[in-house]
Every structure is written in structure tokens, then in C-alpha cells.
Structure 1
């Protein structure tokens, strides 16, 4: 069961995020604030401890500070982020516009 726990948590997060997004959806409304869930592989970034453990905390705080700071749940917004060490990734639920900023920020740090 321990091996399945991250996968189960990921599946639950996806279901909750998509359920929340569909509840927010309204056919007549502007959908620019609709939540989108994206998995970002970040293993190529400096998110590792000296002993080889995945430590995405600093990257997560950086993204929440740099990209749409008021959008994050910790600051009263709707965007959420979860770390998944098994595949060195972050799963982020946020509006598409926020994802555009995240992509730009990660590309900058990758030298792209």
C-alpha cells in the first residue's frame, strides 16, 4: 500500500481539482479563471538535497512568491501545488494564465 500511496494521493488531487473546476464552470461566464491541473517535471532544477532526496520546498515557495502571489490558496486564492517526489514533479491546479507564468518562470531557470 505504501508504494501506491503517492499514486492514490495524486489521483485524489486530480479528481478534487477537476471537480472544483467543473463546479466553477458556467457556460455563459468567462472561463479565464477556471482551474487547470498540470504536472511539471522539475527534476532537472536544483530541487535535490546533498544526499539525493527530492526537496521542492524552496521552488514551491519561490513560485508562489514570483507567480501570481495572490492566486495561491495559502494567500487566500484558489491555486494549489503539491510535490510528488517519486517522479520529481509538482502538480499545480491554477487558472491557465497562472500556468503561462509558471512555464515562463521555469523556462527562465532552465536557460531556455
Structure 2
């Protein structure tokens, strides 16, 4: 009987846990290096647009983009939030055609991207 109680208590504890963050496995990626290197950037971009192969990092990123947009990156680690802002700001300012294509794919109604654009333009 004690074992059943302990198992039930563990199930409740696990289910009551706050929402987990995305994996931090790729937090040390150099975002600046990627956006500054045309070959690397195009590779990641094609992955995101489903026009090319994906690295393991690219696959991970692509699976989280819709959720991160909708939840304002609530599951992102601090480094992921910083990297996201850096990359979006770079796209808006230096690669607007790429930014528009990503917006069209991941936020066709503009519900989220408009908010991020306004926020990041204030940081400029």
C-alpha cells in the first residue's frame, strides 16, 4: 500500500512540475558567425524553409519555432532568447527578403512577427 501511495505522489509531483525549457544543448552556437557567413546562413535558411538538408541544430530549431513564436519564447533559455533577438534583428536590418519569407512560412497572419519587429526596432 505504501508503494502505491509513493508512486501516486511521484506522478502528481512530476505532472505538477513547471513547463520545461527547450534543450540547452545548442546554446553555445555562435549566432553571429552564422548570420555573417553566407554559406552557413543559406544552409540554415534552406533548412528552415524545408528547401534543403538540416543539421541537428537546424532540425531542433525548426521544431520549436512555431511554439516559441506563440509563447513569446517562454520555454527558451536566456541564451536562446538573446540569440533569437540577435538573429531576428539582423534579418530585419540586413536580410529583409529572408525575414519576409520566414514570416510568411511561420507566421502568415502576422500575429507574432509584427510585435517582435516593433520591439526590436525600439532596441536599434
Return the TM-score normalized by structure 2: 0.29
Name the structure with the higher strand share: 1
Return the TM-score normalized by structure 1: 0.31
Of structures 1 and 2, the larger Rg is shown by 2
Name the structure with the higher helix share: 2
